[in-house]
Amino acid sequence: MEINKIEYAYQYAEGVRDGSISVCKYVRLAVDKYFDQHARADELGIFWDEEDAQYVLSFFELLSFTAGQHAGKPFKLEPWQCFLLANMYGWKKWADNGEAYRLYREVYFEVPKKNGKTELGAGVAIFMMVGDGEAGAQVYTAAYTRDQAKLCFNAAQEMVKKSPEIRSEIRLLTNNMSVPETYSTMSAVSHDAKNSEGKNSHCVIYDEFHVHLTDKLKMSLESGMSARTQPVLFTPTTAGDNKQSPCYEFRTTCINILEGRSDITDTFALIYTLDEGDDWKDEKVWHKANPNLGVSKQLQYLRDKFKKALENGREEVDFKTKQLNMWVDAAVTWIPSETWNALAKPELIHNLSSRAVWYGGLDLGQSRDIASFAAFFPDIVPKTEDRPAIGYLVVKHYCAEEAAENAVRSGIDYKQWIEDGYLIATPGKTTDYNFIKRDIFETAQEWELMFLGYDPYSAPYFKDELAEELGTRWAALPREDGSLNWDYYAKVQVFLQKAAGMAPATKLFEELVLNGLVYHDGNPITAWMLANVALRTDAYGNYTPVKDRSVDKIDGIVASIMSVGSYSKWNLTMGDSKDDGSYGIY
């Protein structure tokens, strides 16, 4: 029985046009364009090939879902998916040689998470390798990182395994699939692999464009399509929080196409989001952005996410971008200032036991501006039956005197901070790191230093001097098999600034603050920096502060995150120094 009928695409288009299906402006424009092309096909030199449109819909029936309650069952397309695929493959144009080729070479498809985006992309990739009749088809699942690129590839591979109708035609390897009969292949490629040159792409599934910092990979793979007569560059993505990104720029081009302000004819766009003026807090409009609501995505899931969004600025950004497909500006409050200010207890520094231990974070920043040193004292207020232990954070900031003068001229009163004792001024045009080194050594003499993390881009000679003076510590790190590798480790440790290092530490810092589990010294510069923070979220939901997108300086927050991250990394193998009654405050 045919389950993916072309009639479903027609019914969807009619429903959008007559208003019985509520969608956003951009989906309505895509439907209007579809009907306009039917009306003006001869004038535009195009035609509708219903047979080919039905062919690709029928091909999906040979595929099987890979996960959830429908795993192993035939890939039943929703009406909106039928509309998308029918447009991709149904519209044709006449070439100069008299042959008819597909009109659309590029498809931009924007939809929130949990709307079947990955499996749809996997199905398109399989069709282009197996069902499109292209000899030597090269199909690539592409993303910013190889892990992300492998998500779509792995979904396609799992789909092939569960689809007996096509399984026998395809050879499966760990990182490659191929069709021996046609010499067609599929593999994953990424920005970080630097292997995108020289491709002869027939199809590219360009996943999560919004996380890409440049469009270099996209342009490289697109240029490899020049020898193909009807390739497809399929770009499924969610919205992001960087309106300066290449994805947002291309999205703007797609909107110009939909609104008739562009002459580009080979690009099809389908963008699910809210309309301008819609209240994102009103669940009655959420379905506009989520065409699979009630199918692969449930309303209760959205409600649970929404509750978190109301209480946390970062969760609000995540909800808007990942659940409602709304592009937002980076200037969104991460941690409310009132939450941070309520944790200020500057007097605690005078009550720390001499047996207290600390973990450090060091961000030297630019030599002509603020550098920051953070010391995190874990568990200075012991845990109770109904509350975990509370830590204490001390952050010092340093700046060259001349830089302070320049900051005053820019409207930031560094000099007042200096007079009040919150900012340490060093003589000259650039920050004198000897002042920072002195404070680190003095802190290490008064309280026991466990480990100190530093930005690897910091001055190397400065790091070497610290490492030589502070020495090593007997500690352990976990091996891959779960055992511990005990050894002497330098107390001064590189703290990776990429997501692998910063994301877990950022999350821990956020949890400590939001749950009231860390007090701090009340330095207003640190509070100012916290308000400046902009976060970058990757395709896996990892979030880290980014200096180039933040409102102003955030060095003290980065140093603080590194200090709690160092604690998280090392404290489990440091022994129990917290239960002898001599640790913490007294």
Which has the minimum average pLDDT: 15-29, 259-273, 327-341, 432-446?
Answer: 327-341
Q: Within this chain, do residues 144 and 290 fall inside the same structural domain, yes or no? A: yes
pLDDT in tens, 414-443: 888 898 999 999 988 888 889 999 999 999
| Per-residue pLDDT, 411 | 55
**Structure-derived torsion over alpha carbons of residues 337, 341, 343, 345, reported in degrees to the nearest 10:** 160
pLDDT digits (tens, 9 = 90+) for 254-267: 999 999 999 999 99
Number of structural domains found in the chain: 2
**What would the two tokens of residue 473 be?**
């510590």
Give the pLDDT confidence score for residue 195 in this predicted structure. Answer: 60
Choosing from 276, 300, 323, the residue where a domain stops is 323
DSSP, residue by residue, 160-212: HHT-HHHHTT-EE-SS-EEETTTTEEEEEEEGGGT--TT--EEEEEE--GGG-
* Residue 151 clears pLDDT 60, i.e. is over it: yes
206 shares a domain with 150: yes
Give residue 574's pLDDT: 54
Q: Which residue has the higher pLDDT, 387 or 378?
A: 378
User: Is residue 149 a part of any domain in this protein?
Assistant: yes
* Listed residues 288, 323, 358: the one ending a domain: 323
pLDDT number for residue 331? 54
Same-domain check for residues 69 and 134: yes
Please tell me whether residues 364 and 313 are part of one structural domain: no
Average pLDDT over residues 266-293: 96
pLDDT tier, 457 (very low <50, low <70, confident <90, very high otherwise): confident
- pLDDT for 222-245, tens place per residue? 988 988 999 999 999 999 887 878
Quote the domain boundaries for residue 536: 337-573
pLDDT at 194 over 70: no
pLDDT greater than 90 at residue 329: no
Domain match, 283 and 345 both? no
Q: Average pLDDT of 96-105?
A: 92
In this structure, are 232 and 374 located in the same domain?
no
CB proximity list for 571: less than 8 A, separation 6 or greater: 359, 378, 450
d(CA 524, CA 345): 12
Residues 112 and 256 in one domain: yes
Specify the CATH number for the domain of residue 225: 3.40.50.300
- % of the chain at pLDDT higher than 90: 62
Instruction: Identify whether residues 417 and 519 lie together within a single domain.
Output: yes
Residue 488 belongs to some domain of the structure: yes
For position 49, what pLDDT does the model report? 97
**366 falls within a domain:** yes
Residue 586: predicted pLDDT? 26
Mean per-residue pLDDT, 373-390:
89
CA distance 497 to 261: 42
* Per-residue pLDDT tens digits for 43-76: 999 999 999 999 999 999 999 998 777 788 899 9
Q: Is residue 581 assigned to a domain?
A: no
Q: What DSSP string describes 102-141?
A: ES-SEEEEE--TTSSHHHHHHHHHHIIIIIS--TT-EEEE
Of 323, 356, 378, the last residue of a domain is 323
Where do the H-state alpha helices sit in 385-498?
401-409, 414-420, 433-446, 460-470
For 336-357, the pLDDT digits (tens) are 888 899 999 999 999 898 899 9
Q: How far from 76 is each of 1, 27, 128, 445, CA to CA, in Å?
A: 12, 21, 18, 68
Residues contacting residue 183 through CB under 8 Å, at least 6 positions apart: 135, 136
Q: What is the pLDDT of residue 60?
A: 97
Structure-token pair, residue 226? 């020049």
313 and 358, same domain (yes or no): no
Q: What is the pLDDT of residues 488-517, one digit of tens each?
A: 999 999 998 888 889 999 999 999 999 999
Residue 158, pLDDT > 50, answer yes
- Whether residues 298 and 352 share a domain: the answer is no
Alpha helices in 215-298 (DSSP H): 216-223, 246-258, 286-289
- pLDDT at position 582, please? 33
**In the structure, what pLDDT confidence band is assigned to residue 330 with cuts at 50, 70 and 90?**
low
Number of residues written out for the chain: 586
Do residues 419 and 310 both lie within one domain? no
Greater model confidence, 543 or 16: 16
Mean pLDDT of the chain: 89
In a domain, 284, yes or no: yes
pTM: 0.70
